[in-house]
Structure 1
Amino acid sequence: MVTLATGQLYVDGVLRNAAGDRTYKDVSPWTGEVIAEAADASAEDMEEAIAAARRAFDDTDWATDHARRRALVAKLGELMVANQDRIVEIVRLEGGAAWGTIMGPQVQFALDAFPGMLKVFDDFKWEKDAGVVEAFFTQSRRVIRREAFGVVGAITPWNVPLYVNVAKLVPALLAGCTVILKPAPETPLSGAIIGELAAEAGFPAGVFNVMTGEDPAMLGEMLSGDPRVDLVTFTGSTVTGKRIMERGAQTLKRVFLELGGKSALIVLEDAPDYAMAVAHSMMIYHAGQGCANCTRLLLPRSRYAEGVAILEQAYAHVQWGDFDDKANYMGALISERQRKRVLGYIEAGKAEGARLIAGGGIPADKGDGFFVEPTCFVDVDNKMKIAQEEIFGPVLVVIPFEDDEDAIRIANDSIYGLSGAVVSGDFDRGMAIAKRIRAGTYSVNGGIWSAPDVPFGGYKQSGLGREWGEAGFEEYLQIKTIAMPAASSANDVSAAAMADTI
């Protein structure tokens, strides 16, 4: 296994070691071996980063110099493309990503996000004339402005680390905020390399900071509780999201959260290629470690036995767990801790009476990495633990339904509402179902919603707010209304409003 370079912190414009040169081990899920060391930031390091970000926002023109921000973010994107091979190596080795996922969200989607978000930035209207109104015997002209929110704490997960890092820092920086990025402890280098490239791009001191650390909570607790941090954006578990929201409430921070999911794929009896739709539902992509994965498969009772037979055949022939196979979509789970968690859910499924038709254990032929076999339960009741809780592993649960109304009821019977999908030979029927599922993203007949120009986020306990698109960009902006005597000319108003945004 390859050894990677030691990851450093990026604080106040300087790449440096953590205080006392403290590091921790970065372990590869593929082998369980140490592949790198990463800087292990202390509370003092985080204090320096927060102070630097605050200074950069309050005491420099970063928030108002739109052209400079755009140029630097574009340069960072160019450097990431130029360093794509290094990035792929990091994401694969420390994140357990299989080759087949690299051209998707693990790397390519992150690189594509730069031009996508730059277009959102270029098209964005920073101010508008709201017209004249009479109130209190005075006629006033109003201007509505968008302004940078302030200092952002961005706390990111280990499952698609590069993609989520980019999803948070690019719109925040373009909006004029300053950012402290805290990557997950398991994938520190996927954040550290962005700090390295930001330094090369020439970002001003304090505008962007990267803090890696082994402690799963300490750095995030500081960001979510510090009054100098104006906004916290977090992607991860619902439990942790609630904790961040609780901490942020003490200083009334803006908090937006992308949390868990238990999304359902509904395959209707009239699906044009029923066998393919069912077979493609196998929960193998990145070992099921995706919040928007459809981990519940809903099959019509009229074709349920047929669907189960299709799955038995598909799982019997699936290829997975090969580091070098470019057609492979499934690697290892991120850690031994996560593997134990997934195996616990598998045991719970057995105890609840679900029928295991594939997998369910640790493979004997994959070495010492953190692997779990692709697993499928059928005859699942939606009230079972494995149907209600997010497993975050390669586990699919299959549930029968009677008709469209029953499918909609089952799909919505969840504390989550992140995503979902339906496959039908009748487009209007599929669209009617899509409109009734309480989820933030939805696919009809294989449509792909993931792109930087459209919003992503969830209903219910899947989160608050949105990432990507104009809606995601506006999460990092405040709204200000300015009123002046109506006698002021419209041209003067426009010039004054835009004076610091050119």
Structure 2
Amino acid sequence: MAEPFVGGEYVEVTGMGRISVVDPASGEEVDTVPLCGDEEVDRAVESAREALAGWQGMPASRRGEILAEAARAVMERRDELAPLLTAEQGKPLREARIEIRRFVLTLEHYAGLAKNIRGGYVPDLDEGAYGMILRRPLGVVGAIVPWNFPTTLLGNKLGPALITGNAVVAKPAETTPLTTLRIAGIMHEAGLPAGVFNVVTGDGPTTGQALVEHPLVRKVAFTGSTPVGRKLAALAAGELKRATLELGGSDPMIVCDDADLDRAASAASVGRFFNCGQACLAVKRLYVFESVAEELVEKLVGKVKKLRVGPGTEEGVMIGPLHTPRQRELVEGQVEDAVSSGAEVLAGGKRPDGREKGNFYEPTLLLEPSHDSRVAMEEVFGPALPIWKVSDLDEAIERANSSVYGLGSSIWTRDLDRATEAAERIEAGYTWINSPQIVYDELPFGGWKQSGYGKEHGIEALEYYTETKSVVVRRSS
């Protein structure tokens, strides 16, 4: 039985019962973890608070060295961690290895920024006086991480939080806590001081709420759905806590009549169906110029029909199961609604034959559902992609901006003017031009509209884990 990681060790707690962690491919129990309540969360937060003085008092360069060493230790254990991630989340082993590597790269990136944390100096404020701008850590940070990329999205929070001198209490999703717990132990073994990184387990209403409301937690970093993000923001606002919210998305992809259609079709397939479509930044709406729609759709259908569905441990599998039965039912309902609104099913649209166990669903393409159907209006968190034909760039951008979400977006065109116009007009925090949907640590990432606020990645993320303080110094003579 797995246990929370607090103060540099795994601690056995009574909690409020235990939660079963289930393999999405088989429905079998992998392990159990405790449902932590107020007492367990308080213990973890106190451990983080006690660690703050030593961690903050350490030179930033030394924090960077420790973080880099901890990241290397995780990478050395990737072959141990990847099967555990596949077992609890469902993704193919290849994708699990990619995710562990992505976590490590993010920690290494922020370890390298350790010497770039700077304040400021303002001369001649007044006669005989100058000013300093100090940058200080916030204190204890609560990191609440979802189930779709439990390690990648942890790294987005852990890297900037730790390098700026904060201590972290993480709460992974109740369905995917195991890899996070193991990583915490590995990082401590590699030299991360006790209490700097703690992990509590449990659900959102109990454990997550206790963490957000704890009076010693000064910042909450959350990735998840927009409805849950709204509730979390309200809780954090009660004590004016800092919050970074990376929420839902319904990312549009525009394919113009001058695009490289082979590359665009590949990007649409990977961008939609990676991780079984369970990604905030997945391609979720495809708008294609009418003159090339038939050709692009033909290429895309060909690619999608080659995608093999099955357990993540099977050789050659490219799409694993959806994470939970409820998630599959949600996607099925969205597809059924699209078909009832007039959509043509070009591929998929059903559970695969011969896969009675597990939460499997075929990769699905839907042509021309209604613009007020659920797949157009809601976030589709699974392997279904709606496709619409558009007459020109103006119509494509208008449709792209019709969503309440504004996370990512992409356009495929050889025309620099079109690309520039799309980058300027699409209401999203990220736009890829002739590029697959890869997020880079060097660039700030965050949503517009109901996709959240605050930035992860980039040096900008450091601002969300520090406070600035102004100091006036007057010379004595």
TM-score after normalising by structure 2: 0.94
* Matched ranges for 1:384-463 at <5 A: 384-446=373-435, 449-463=438-452
Change (3 A) 1:41 1:342: same
Instruction: Name the structure 1 match of 2:129.
Output: 140
Change (3 A) 1:357 1:449: closer
1:367 shift after superposition: 4.0
The separation in 1 between residues aligned to 2:380 and 2:245, in whole angstroms, is: 19
1:478 shift after superposition: 0.5
Alpha carbons 1:466, 1:475 under 8 Å: kept:
yes
1:131 shift after superposition: 1.8
The separation in 2 between residues aligned to 1:295 and 1:93, in whole angstroms, is: 26
The separation in 1 between residues aligned to 2:436 and 2:302, in whole angstroms, is: 26
- Identical columns (%): 32
Cα distance per residue 1:479-500 (max 9 Å; x no partner)? 1111111578xxxxxxxxxxxx
The separation in 2 between residues aligned to 1:228 and 1:129, in whole angstroms, is: 31
Instruction: Name the structure 2 match of 1:23.
Output: 18
Per mean C-alpha deviation after superposition, the further-off stretch among 317-326 and 391-400 is 317-326
Quick one: which of 40, 49, 70 aligns to 1:45?
40
Alpha carbons 1:117, 1:170 under 8 Å: kept:
yes
* Matched ranges for 1:68-467 at <5 A: 68-104=62-98, 106-122=99-115, 124-134=116-126, 138-213=127-202, 215-272=203-260, 274-282=261-269, 283-324=272-313, 328-446=317-435, 449-467=438-456
Per mean C-alpha deviation after superposition, the further-off stretch among 391-400 and 162-171 is 162-171
Change (3 A) 1:372 1:447: closer
The separation in 2 between residues aligned to 1:411 and 1:20, in whole angstroms, is: 46
Cα distance per residue 1:367-410 (max 9 Å; x no partner)? 41111111111113433221121120001010111111111111
Q: Over aligned residues, Cα RMSD in angstroms?
A: 2.0
SS in 1 for 2:444: coil
Q: Which amino acid aligns with 2:82?
A: V
1:242 shift after superposition: 0.5
SS in 2 for 1:371: coil
Structure 2: runs of 5 or more not aligned: none
* Matched ranges for 1:462-501 at <5 A: 462-485=451-474
Tell me the number of residue pairs that the alignment of Structure 1 and Structure 2 aligns. Answer: 474
Change (3 A) 1:101 1:42: same
Change (3 A) 1:103 1:427: farther
Change (3 A) 1:474 1:69: same
Alpha carbons 1:264, 1:298 under 8 Å: kept:
yes
Alpha carbons 2:267, 2:436 under 8 Å: kept:
no
Alpha carbons 1:232, 1:253 under 8 Å: kept:
yes
Q: Which amino acid aligns with 1:73?
A: L
Cα distance per residue 1:108-130 (max 9 Å; x no partner)? 211212221112223x1422212
The separation in 2 between residues aligned to 1:121 and 1:484, in whole angstroms, is: 27
1:18 shift after superposition: 2.2
Q: Which amino acid aligns with 1:356?
A: V
Instruction: Name the structure 2 match of 1:497.
Output: none
The separation in 1 between residues aligned to 2:71 and 2:300, in whole angstroms, is: 41
TM-score after normalising by structure 1: 0.89
1:21 shift after superposition: 9.7
Structure 1: runs of 5 or more not aligned: 1-5, 489-502
Alpha carbons 2:393, 2:418 under 8 Å: kept:
no
Alpha carbons 2:309, 2:360 under 8 Å: kept:
no
1:38 shift after superposition: 2.5
Cα distance per residue 1:77-130 (max 9 Å; x no partner)? 1210121111111111111111342353x22211212221112223x1422212
Q: Which amino acid aligns with 1:98?
A: P
The separation in 2 between residues aligned to 1:165 and 1:247, in whole angstroms, is: 21
The separation in 2 between residues aligned to 1:306 and 1:262, in whole angstroms, is: 24
The separation in 2 between residues aligned to 1:448 and 1:363, in whole angstroms, is: 27
Change (3 A) 1:470 1:276: closer
Alpha carbons 2:36, 2:200 under 8 Å: kept:
yes
The separation in 2 between residues aligned to 1:389 and 1:131, in whole angstroms, is: 52
Instruction: Name the structure 1 match of 2:31.
Output: 36
1:22 shift after superposition: 4.8
The separation in 2 between residues aligned to 1:224 and 1:125, in whole angstroms, is: 27
Change (3 A) 1:487 1:377: farther
SS in 1 for 2:217: coil
Change (3 A) 1:461 1:486: farther
The separation in 1 between residues aligned to 2:416 and 2:313, in whole angstroms, is: 39
SS in 1 for 2:55: coil
Q: Which amino acid aligns with 2:268?
A: S
